[in-house]
Amino acid sequence: MLIITISTFGFSQKQKSQVLFQAANVSENIAYKTDESGKKIQLDIYRPKNTDDKKIPVVVYVHGGAWVEGDKIITADNYVENTILKLLEKNYTVISINYRLVSENLHFPAPIQDTKDAIRWIRKNADQYHLDENNIGMWGVSAGAHLSLLSAYTQDNEFLGDPELSEYSAKVNYVVDNFGPTDMNTLLHTRAPKPMLFIVGLISQKIIDIRTNLAHGLTGYDIKTNRQKVIEVCKTISPLNYTQNTVPTLMLHGNKDKVAPLRHSKRLNRMLKKAGTEHSLIVVKKGNHGFKNTDKTYQDELNDEMIKFILSHEKTTVVHH
């Protein structure tokens, strides 16, 4: 049985944000698709007040949780809530999405199909919800940053999900990536020699078990018996390998991140430079995974950098009378 509990990947269980409900018109639990088993996959819309009749830009927020846990609920008193408040002030709608989590029976490409389908759904329903389909960006944390990058960098015909949404584009204008893993083989140490794994196993069997379980959850293959298959699938779901279709990217990554080390963003930074795509990497001083211990004032500056980046990529929509 697959049981993965990775507290370091997710935000600890906290209260649901209340201030967002005061600051926004919130529509919760809107189903954007139904999976093969008939389960509805949902999103929440946070819309600035007094903007009801005009189409406004959208930021799609993708939660973290190691692909195995977490959901679309925005919790109170953290930098995510704070940044959403700032976006609402700038007249942006924020849409927080759920996606299918991997398990013993569910693997990739399900989570990435869902992420792309959420964007397609926005285009399909842009008129009804007054969303500007020419101004959609993505912002993800941890596993959600990985999904945001993968979604933004892949072509429209890759990772197709719901047939009813497939005629709409999943393209976005930019990505804000908070400490996202970019190379899944590096993250899972799939190419690590056996002696090294043996030594790690002596220190902590739990780490080995998490790696084995997560590799199976993500790919559907057992890393002990099917290492090559795991490596192949990991290649296809690593943003680093999609160099042809990149979009402007802002990366924020802590230099003390032990879960998805800084080198993930450094390598992405190099890839984007080579691709000639606008990019920026902010190394968060003493930042761990989740920025949990980051000083409030410093964090606020980082939040402002994200807002500045998002605003700088707003396309002006020409209205013909």
Query: C-alpha distances in angstroms, 14 versus 18, 97, 100, 128, 296?
Result: 12, 18, 22, 33, 18
- Least Cα distance to 111 among 101, 122, 125, 123 occurs for 101
What are 111-165's pLDDT values in tens digits?
999 999 999 999 999 999 999 999 999 999 999 999 999 999 999 999 999 999 9
For CA atoms 82, 281, 308, 182, give the dihedral sign.
Answer: negative
Query: C-alpha distances in angstroms, 275 versus 6, 15, 164, 241, 243?
Result: 34, 42, 33, 12, 6
What are 49-106's pLDDT values in tens digits?
988 789 999 999 999 999 999 999 999 999 999 999 999 999 999 999 999 999 999 9
Say whether 243 sits in a helix, a strand or coil.
coil
Overall average pLDDT of the 243-252 stretch: 98
In this model, does residue 256 exceed pLDDT 50? yes
What are 190-231's pLDDT values in tens digits?
988 777 777 767 777 776 787 889 999 999 999 989 999 999
Residue 273: exposed, middle, or buried by beta-carbon count in 10 A (0-12, 13-18, 19+)? exposed
Contact of 181 with 146, CB cutoff 8 Å:
yes
Strand pairing category for 40-48 and 24-34:
antiparallel
C-alpha 4 chain-centroid distance: 19
